[in-house]
Structure 1
Amino acid sequence: MAALRTLVFLALSGVCSCQTSDCSYHGLLAYLNLTASNKVLEIMRPVKNWTQATLIQMDMFVYGILDVNEKFQTVTSHTWTETHWTNEFLTWNPSDFCGIDSVTIPTSMVWLPDVIIEEDCSDSGSVKKDPVVLLESNGTSRSTVRQRLTYTCQLNLTLFPFDTQQCNITFRSMSSDVGSIKLGPVKNGTTLTRISEWFMITQGEWRLVKMETFVEEIVNDRRCWSKLVFTVTLERKPMLYVIILIVPLFYLLVLDLASFFIHEDGGEKLGFKVTILLSISVLLLILKDILPSTEENLPIIAEYCLAVFTLVWLSVLEAMLISFLRALDEPPVPEENGEFKPETICFQPAQPSDCDLLKRILEEVKAARQEVGSQKKKETEPGCYRKLAKIIDHLQLNNRDVQVTGVVSIYQLNT
């Protein structure tokens, strides 16, 4: 008897479920009043009690770091943003529709939160919004946006190229204050960083270090606004700049130091130093194209380049001074007219004796030897200007060793 009652109950339950269940999406959309345009669902915030704020939860993933522009203070990245909220008017029981627990509907048929990025400076063509919204049975809605995002960031280039940058991406509502819309994250910063690194496609010369999230409320025009801030920390890969800037500058400074061993009589010392100065000028032009034109927070590498340029410039001035002092001690070059003028030998009209003639020749030879000896003595003994030039060169060489050591020590201490 009990078994018969159980069979009857199951049969009646099956008949009732067959009469009420609808296994089509059309039936679900008809139940939700989405088969035709519904202006109320499109423009009104989906809450049954207007005093209750709508919680908008967002996640942002970075899967590509395309460019960091130091001059314009901007960062360009590929981002993926997911937005979650609850629509209290669009709920159903999945058992009434053969277990349908989610459905996609066009974004034009439902309300969407008007959330923007404050630092966004990219063009509208770089935004790829999902044309549909994923709607779950409990009213949870989800939309996604894929974007080539270019946003402003205050870059601190003091430690360039060994710098680490922190950039904020701030989401806020355009028209709704905290009483209507509250923003918050879905996942924490550690999870966002791990997922972003997993899907990372390209990083270029930058590496994603971490992502952090926090919520803040800002009072503006007597209204309180909710903001969701994603802090993205980027680290530069400095090897390229070390190879093309730092190491060549150090090598040029060593070459300038080695030029003090070039002898002045060769005439190549000054030209060699000028060539080194021009090479450093080329490296400075390369650095100018990279860094922004600002006097605030001068990068250490700029101070390093300026110090090297100043040392080489002083070295060129020193070489010019030594050449000038050495030129002051050079004897004047005698004029040659090609004529033979006898100075001391005078032949008398009368024929002298052989003894007198030999005495005269001996006296002329002695006079010539004395004159040649005095000229050699003048050439071998440097004058006061040459001595001064030698002292300046020696002091400049010792001072340059101390300056090079100081420049390298300061740069290593700052880096």
Structure 2
Amino acid sequence: MWAWQTLVLLFFLTSNVSLGRASNCSYSELLEYLKLNTTNDFLATVRPVKDWKEVTVVAVDMLLYGILQVDSKLQIFTSHIWTQIVWKNDFLTWTPSDFCGITHLSVPRSKLWTPDIGIQEDTSDTGSITKSSYVTVYSSGLLQITARQRLSSTCTLNLFAFPFDRQDCDISFSPMNTHVDSMQLQTFSGDQFINNVSDQILLTRGEWTLKKLDIFRNDTSTGHPHLSKVIYKVKLERKPMLYVINFIIPLFYLLTLDLASFFIDEARGEKLSFKITILLAISVLLLLLQDMLPSTEDNLPLIANFCIGVFALVGLSVLEAMLVSFLIDLDDKFCKNPARKTGQDVRSDKQEMKDVVKEKEEEDPVQVIVPSEREQLKLFLEEVRAAQQKAASAGDVPQRKCFRRIAKIIDLVYFVVYLITVTVFLVVMYNVWIPPDFFS
């Protein structure tokens, strides 16, 4: 009898236990257990700690999905990021074995307190942020939310070494109002993990290369000494090859052409016009540089120094060519030998001689003996030879082409000095401007 009663009692007990377990296998039972089946103002508004002195540690992880744009004029860095925020709620814990092994569930964000974390450098509009409508709750009390965003953030760009520049742009996460004594920020994953994953999933790079993601934690941030902060420093390096091919190499080529123009003969009259054409081509490249660089740059970029140096060198070369042309013109005007008398001069002298003879005939027709035409011409030639010999003995011949010699000396000396100056200028610019690992 007692045996039958014992069996019946065990049957009912096992039935009740199985029914209880079956009923606890639904999310509704778990939500009821966590008091989330209805609106709970306490869980939605109060920081989820049992002791108010306890600090809520919030982990913020950021992955970089794409480098969209770096605007040098507006000083804005546009990227595509994915963020994950994890914290603990002391009131939302359960034993998974009591609910058929349920380890996590999703709850609407409006039902729970979430950290008021924002990005200090953010200049994006709200339409670029895609936040998950649910919070993932784990049995240990950890809560997780995710968001994706097309982030436009302010970034102080240093364009001194453009286009071989490297930029550091900060993305700083910090609470909007929560004091550092109540909330502290840190990262959930390590630096190495975040760098490796970001490098693998980075889809869009543009003209930039992601070098590294450095993470810093600061509980006394500048401007907000009572707010915790996690800073992701994005280190970028520009791909300069396009600017080298389209801008730097043409400038170097024009400077080389200006050097080669010294071998053009000045007598042909093409040297000066060729140099002016080179100067105009450099001016066009300077207009292109104006569109590349911002006007608010404090330090003049090296590419601007390079352009100004090339422009100044070519400009001085043009002035030297003008000076040489001026000296050659002076040579043609002031350093000529006495010219031989032309046929017109001979005829004028002959007519003058006839007039003299005619005057003498009128004065004393008896005494004047008119020479023949042949004798007059012979007399005139003797006078011309005498004048040439007198001019040669006076030193007119050695003065021929005197300014032309000075022009050639100036041109040669300037070419040597110009070549040395251009060589030193290019070597200095290469050592200061080009990074050591550019050709590696």
Q: Judge which range, 126-135 or 89-98, deviates more.
A: 89-98
The alpha carbon displacement at 1:72 in A equals 1.7
Distance of 1:369 and 1:220 partners within structure 2? 99
The reply to whether residue 18 of structure 1 matches residue 19 of structure 2 is: yes
Distance of 2:168 and 2:134 partners within structure 1? 34
401 and 291 in structure 1: CA distance in 2 versus 1, 3 angstrom threshold = same
The reply to whether residue 395 of structure 1 matches residue 413 of structure 2 is: yes
Secondary structure of the structure 1 residue equivalent to 2:295: coil
* Alignment partner, residue 217 of structure 1: 219
* Alignment partner, residue 289 of structure 1: 291
The alpha carbon displacement at 1:380 in A equals 9.7
Q: Give the counterpart letter for 1:279 in structure 2.
A: A
1:200-259 deviation per Cα after TM superposition (whole angstroms, max 9, x unaligned): 111010011111112111167996321111111111111011111111111010111111
* Alignment partner, residue 306 of structure 1: 308
Q: Judge which range, 325-334 or 364-373, deviates more.
A: 364-373
* Alignment partner, residue 437 of structure 2: none
Secondary structure of the structure 1 residue equivalent to 2:79: strand
* Alignment partner, residue 423 of structure 2: 405
1:185-209 deviation per Cα after TM superposition (whole angstroms, max 9, x unaligned): 0112221111011111110100111
211 and 381 in structure 1: CA distance in 2 versus 1, 3 angstrom threshold = same
Aligned with residue 252 of structure 1, among 251, 254, 260: 254
* Alignment partner, residue 106 of structure 2: 104
* Alignment partner, residue 65 of structure 2: 63
406 and 11 in structure 1: CA distance in 2 versus 1, 3 angstrom threshold = farther
* Alignment partner, residue 267 of structure 1: 269
Aligned with residue 183 of structure 2, among 178, 181, 184: 181
Question: Which segments of 5 or more consecutive residues in structure 2 lack a partner in the other structure?
Answer: 1-5, 359-367, 435-440
Q: Give the counterpart letter for 1:391 in structure 2.
A: I
The alpha carbon displacement at 1:13 in A equals 5.0
1:58-77 deviation per Cα after TM superposition (whole angstroms, max 9, x unaligned): 11001100111112222111
* Alignment partner, residue 130 of structure 2: 128
Distance of 1:267 and 1:379 partners within structure 2? 26
The alpha carbon displacement at 1:275 in A equals 1.3
Aligned with residue 86 of structure 1, among 66, 70, 88: 88
Distance of 2:373 and 2:58 partners within structure 1? 126
49 and 84 in structure 1: CA distance in 2 versus 1, 3 angstrom threshold = same
Q: Is the 8 A contact 1:69 1:75 kept in 2?
A: yes
Q: Is the 8 A contact 1:188 1:212 kept in 2?
A: no
Q: Is the 8 A contact 2:170 2:232 kept in 1?
A: yes
Structure showing greater Rg: 2
Distance of 1:76 and 1:218 partners within structure 2? 27
The alpha carbon displacement at 1:128 in A equals 0.9
Distance of 1:379 and 1:145 partners within structure 2? 93
Distance of 2:280 and 2:11 partners within structure 1? 97
Q: Give the counterpart letter for 1:343 in structure 2.
A: D
Q: Give the counterpart letter for 2:56 in structure 1.
A: T
Q: CA RMSD in A?
A: 3.2
Q: Give the counterpart letter for 2:349 in structure 1.
A: E
Distance of 2:386 and 2:293 partners within structure 1? 69
Q: How does 1:35-54 map to 2 (within 5 A)?
A: 35-54=37-56
1:89-131 deviation per Cα after TM superposition (whole angstroms, max 9, x unaligned): 1222222222111111111111110011111112221111111
86 and 372 in structure 1: CA distance in 2 versus 1, 3 angstrom threshold = farther
Distance of 1:167 and 1:80 partners within structure 2? 17
Q: Give the counterpart letter for 2:215 in structure 1.
A: T
40 and 330 in structure 1: CA distance in 2 versus 1, 3 angstrom threshold = same
Q: Give the counterpart letter for 1:37 in structure 2.
A: T
Q: Is the 8 A contact 2:350 2:376 kept in 1?
A: no
Distance of 1:306 and 1:40 partners within structure 2? 67
The alpha carbon displacement at 1:329 in A equals 2.3
Q: Give the counterpart letter for 2:53 in structure 1.
A: T
The alpha carbon displacement at 1:296 in A equals 2.5
Q: Give the counterpart letter for 1:125 in structure 2.
A: G
Q: Give the counterpart letter for 2:426 in structure 1.
A: V
Q: Is the 8 A contact 2:221 2:229 kept in 1?
A: no
Secondary structure of the structure 2 residue equivalent to 1:178: coil
Distance of 1:182 and 1:18 partners within structure 2? 44
Q: Is the 8 A contact 2:327 2:407 kept in 1?
A: yes
Distance of 1:39 and 1:264 partners within structure 2? 93
Distance of 2:381 and 2:15 partners within structure 1? 147
The reply to whether residue 322 of structure 1 matches residue 324 of structure 2 is: yes
Normalised to the residue count of structure 2, the TM-score between the two structures is 0.83
Secondary structure of the structure 1 residue equivalent to 2:411: helix
Distance of 2:284 and 2:224 partners within structure 1? 55
The alpha carbon displacement at 1:274 in A equals 1.4
Identity %: 44
10 and 86 in structure 1: CA distance in 2 versus 1, 3 angstrom threshold = farther
Question: Which segments of 5 or more consecutive residues in structure 1 lack a partner in the other structure?
Answer: none
Q: Is the 8 A contact 1:177 1:223 kept in 2?
A: no
* Alignment partner, residue 343 of structure 1: 349
Q: Is the 8 A contact 2:350 2:377 kept in 1?
A: no
The alpha carbon displacement at 1:342 in A equals 3.1
143 and 378 in structure 1: CA distance in 2 versus 1, 3 angstrom threshold = farther
Distance of 1:30 and 1:367 partners within structure 2? 137
